[in-house]
A and B are shown apart, each in its own frame.
Chain A
């Protein structure tokens, strides 16, 4: 490997590994082994049973659900190396990280960078403990790809803002406690008129309506704000800084959405293993349909190259410090490949892979169909593939603004 030699003595890492093992032995309930679901939070709030709650509290206590966040705000304060050890040991034990959601993936890292000391003290610790669910108030009916066209207004009323407008595609809005929101504080400037505001979802005047999607699930909502009062101290950064902060948050979102393959994880087994179950094999155990075999290999090679790219981006960002526009490349590649994989998978299963509900289908078959449909959203949300192409062309390749 071409990475710099690690300066830490191996014995320190070993000691930490030992600590993790002891912690897992003591705190991870064996009945939860292998139960971590990538679909969690997509199809609804998970109702914790006792074991799950115990596990979440134990991890939250240590801050290990957010392992590299600063200890002073409830994070784990671990080095990246230690976080990697933690991941390895959890994987070995069949354990999963019970602390997740938008607070962890996008909002937390952004608030740590741009929030005031008081905001960090208030909002980061509950995220680390997995107690508060955040949702994202970005898109509006007339502000999708053209996000900066957003019209939800926050009017300065002295000690508070008065918010009016409508957001849409609010993921998990019906289950969220709080919302980080882009609002318009100035109508005279498209980009500099946007501010980043934090809102309680139970404030008077907030109304949430789930939207049923082609997958049959309702992971997204419409959110309406009517004369919602928001305290002034909930402004992150300064008035007019919302576009800058909001874009930063999107880089975190894209890095997560590209998925080291959340879609792939949902689908579990390799395509070849699935094919061996659903189509004929020859006497040597190879897939008998040579055309299908070739297409699977073609896909798997590109998928492997993508995973190597995600790994390389992590190493490079570690060396350079922080997320970057490369997140657009990863998002574009990972989501497209994830969809391609889902399409190939249902094709391999034939009509058995298109079951909607009821008898005659396994759970894996039924959830595969829903994941295939849900996955169509991945190239649209978080900035569509076309928007990522614009970002790559303009910011990375330095091609000039199109007309």
Chain B
């Protein structure tokens, strides 16, 4: 855990308390049972926004708190621990795209609403099942955007899409020319193919040539925060289980074969946490973001993948049941691993950044 200041500690404690009491995994079960495609609890999201969480990276002048990325990451990690289903990450990323690339007018129009929770935003970048921001066919002519975006996170609740076209990022509101086709993924959260057919589009003209890349680095780091919370929760749950479960008249935690596997996972988890916090600190300092984001998401992918598999195995049969929570983490893990850069994508990018 990074050394936090008082404000950050308060924020984390508040998020932890809220997630534990108001949004345990049982809350996600309820959302799942309801079957609503937007797959989150509006009331819960309103409560989150009222605590200021949707505006953590939004400047104060536009209704946010501007507490910084480490603060945002702490909240997202806590929510990841309980698999809180919400469009908080998606909205934060849409807001950051506007902060980086929006005109004063666009900022004034959208940021206060995104920060207050009134408007839900999301990114619509990739056009296939693999993350590949160099392959974008969507195009704009006369202010009308056309193209199809695959597996858009939180699409059902979104009022505002930040859409990648061949010549840059655009803001598109839901409504005419925007249609959704649900893609129910294994994590049972909101995902959809979104088709834009001559939808009115407002270009984010600032931010320079690196705008898309900069936004994606923030997506990688913030997603890695959610994954960190998940990995920590799987680890803690598994450790707790090993300390309770008795076989051969012995608590499982006393078996050295299992102790050493947990020690391995603990080491991996330490590396994941350092990589993720390194990403957040790079964002706050503005230095070395692309490399730090690649390390953060690559480590998040590697470690959550391992921990989510080991978590099920170490639980034995009960880990295979729907009644038990551990399987939810496994399913959400794979969705996030594939989002904003798979492990092979990230290794390729890391080598390219390093000049080899």
CB-CB under 8 A for A389 and B264, given A2-B8, A305-B274, A312-B2: yes
A272 touches B347 (CB 8 A): no
Q: Tell me if A393 is interfacial: C-beta within 8 Å of chain B.
A: yes
CB-CB under 8 A for A399 and B243, given A306-B271, A329-B270: yes
Separation of A308 and B262 alpha carbons in the complex (Å): 21
Separation of A396 and B266 alpha carbons in the complex (Å): 9
Interface residues of A in 277-323 (CB under 8 A from B): 285-287, 293-294, 296-298, 300-302, 304-306, 308-309, 311-312, 315-316, 318-319
Q: Tell me if A403 is interfacial: C-beta within 8 Å of chain B.
A: yes
B263 touches A400 (CB 8 A): no
Q: Tell me if A390 is interfacial: C-beta within 8 Å of chain B.
A: yes
A389 touches B272 (CB 8 A): no
Cross-chain contact of B351 among A296, A333, A400 (Cβ < 8 A):
A296
Q: Which residues of A lie under 8 Å from residue B281 when comparing CB positions?
A: 1-2
Chain B residue with the shortest CB-CB distance to A271? B356
Q: Which residues of B lie under 8 Å from residue A301 when comparing CB positions?
A: 294-295, 298-299, 346-347, 350
CB-CB under 8 A for A333 and B262, given A2-B4, A297-B351, A316-B1: no
Chain A residue with the shortest CB-CB distance to B284? A1
Separation of A392 and B268 alpha carbons in the complex (Å): 13
Separation of A294 and B295 alpha carbons in the complex (Å): 14
CB-CB under 8 A for A4 and B3, given A297-B348, A402-B259: yes
CB distance from A348 to the nearest CB of B (A): 12
Prevailing SS type, chain B contact patch: helix
Q: Which residues of B lie under 8 Å from residue A275 when comparing CB positions?
A: 356
A400 touches B254 (CB 8 A): yes
CB distance from A394 to the nearest CB of B (A): 8
Cross-chain contact of B356 among A1, A4, A286, A311 (Cβ < 8 A):
A286
Q: Which residues of A lie under 8 Å from residue B262 when comparing CB positions?
A: 392-393, 397, 399
Q: Tell me if A388 is interfacial: C-beta within 8 Å of chain B.
A: yes
A1 touches B274 (CB 8 A): no
Chain B residue with the shortest CB-CB distance to A304? B295
Q: Which residues of B lie under 8 Å from residue A401 when comparing CB positions?
A: 254
CB distance from A19 to the nearest CB of B (A): 28
Separation of A402 and B260 alpha carbons in the complex (Å): 11
Interface residues on B, range: 35 or more
Q: Tell me if B5 is interfacial: C-beta within 8 Å of chain A.
A: yes
Prevailing SS type, chain A contact patch: helix
CB-CB under 8 A for A293 and B270, given A1-B284, A2-B2, A400-B251: no
Separation of A389 and B239 alpha carbons in the complex (Å): 15
Most buried by B among A300, A316, A397, A398: A397
CB distance from A327 to the nearest CB of B (A): 12
B275 touches A4 (CB 8 A): no
Q: Tell me if A156 is interfacial: C-beta within 8 Å of chain B.
A: no
Interface residues of A in 359-403 (CB under 8 A from B): 386, 388-390, 392-394, 396-403
Q: Tell me if A332 is interfacial: C-beta within 8 Å of chain B.
A: yes
A305 touches B284 (CB 8 A): no
Separation of A305 and B270 alpha carbons in the complex (Å): 9
Chain B residue with the shortest CB-CB distance to A391? B263
Residues of B within 8 A of A (CB): 1-5, 8, 70, 239, 242-243, 250-251, 253-256, 258-260, 262-264, 266-267, 270-275, 277-278, 281, 284-285, 294-295, 298-299, 302, 344, 346-348, 350-352, 354-356
Other A-B pairs beyond A297-B350, A326-B270, A390-B256, 18, CB < 8 Å: A2-B277, A286-B352, A286-B356, A287-B351, A287-B356, A301-B346, A305-B272, A305-B278, A308-B271, A312-B2, A319-B3, A386-B260, A390-B260, A390-B263, A393-B259, A399-B239, A399-B254, A399-B259
